[in-house]
Amino acid sequence: MAKMNFGGVEENVVTRSEFPLEKAREVLKNETIAVLGYGVQGPGQSLNLKDNGFNVIVGQRKGSKSWDKAVEDGWVPGETLFEIEEACEKATIIEFLLSDAGQISAWPVVKKHLTAGKALYFSHGFGITYNDKTGIIPPADVDVIMVAPKGSGTSLRRLFLQGKGINSSYAIYQDATGKAYDRVIALGVGVGSGYLFETTFKREVYSDLTGERGTLMGAIQGIFAAQYQVLRENGHTPSEAFNETVEELSQSLMPLIAENGMDWMYANCSTTAQRGALDWWKKFRDATLPVFNDLYNSVKTGNEAQISIDSNSKPDYREKLNAELKELHESEMWRTGETVRALRPERSK
């Protein structure tokens, strides 16, 4: 573990050069890793681990679409693909990658197989942090660890196949064996992390829920929708409104910001854009700061967790969710986006 300076603040960081793949394989050479769930994170993490040479099996409900997807991806029923309980029984490390609602439902089965010395692994701090609501309280004689990739499972897999890695946070909630640190870092390397930075289960879930509802999805969609509406109401065409709101940001500016930073972007745009951006960014900050404070407080108090649990446990949850997603998909802005994306020229070969 090394100390690295981030904006003047030192943090604990583990890089691949410090903890190479060969070391990770040695740490986990006698472990059987069961990845429970084959939805968001399960495919990317399990396939990366397998391709990196670890002993991996998948636990999933037989007959589900996810089971069929696992078979399509090369997992073999009875050899590397099992029902959840059988996978738990075989494993020394259980990667609990079901949805938050799925974890609550499956917990009695998983807990039954958490015998002394095993490790319980998460990629999200929800179940442990809000255990008064989820009931997920691990026994005292198992390691409880977390690796949380800072991106989707799809991105984790895509970058792995490109020879790259996505940054992940890691945390140790309970070290019963004295091996929790080596286990969690080895798993972080194994799933394809670029580098790993230290956190806690509570900090991870607070930042994650805030980010999802904020700049990663909720706030950005709200800002997109507001600017698009203003442009349309002032006579701009759907194509122009979408290109100025979404396309230029996602296709041109965001890759440059990811590569060089927003400060570089401000220094390397036109003087007109510089002046306007410098004049307006603090106004947007001040306008949204109260909303972000309300959001963080709602996460911290457990209100967002309770809303999620209550919503996901209703029998008509999927039907209502699909209706909300349909409304988003069928909005003029995102229907325009479909057309714009279809018109992007292919790079000449």
Cβ(309)–Cβ(133) below 8 Å: yes
d(CA 291, CA 235): 30
d(CA 220, CA 246): 10
Q: At what angle do helices 153-161 and 42-51 cross, to 10 degrees?
A: 30
Task: Look up 124 and say whether it is catalytic.
Answer: yes
Tokens representing 184 are 């969690």
Count the Cβ atoms, other than its own, within 10 Å of residue 278. Answer: 10
d(CA 91, CA 32): 5
Cβ(25)–Cβ(2) below 8 Å: no
Cβ(48)–Cβ(190) below 8 Å: yes
d(CA 168, CA 150): 5
- State the DSSP code for 12: E
**CA nearest to 136, candidates 176, 86, 85, 99:** 99
The distance of Cα 22 from the centroid of its chain, to the nearest Å, equals 26
Tokens representing 210 are 């805030």
User: Residue-wise over 125-163: b if at least 16 C-beta within 10 A, else e?
Assistant: bbbbbbeebbebebeeebbbbbbbbbbebeebbebbeee
Of 113, 124, 236, 329, which is the active-site residue? 124
Sheet strands side by side (includes 9-15): 2-6, 9-15, 193-198, 166-174, 143-149, 119-122, 93-96, 33-36, 56-59, 81-82
Catalytic residues: 124
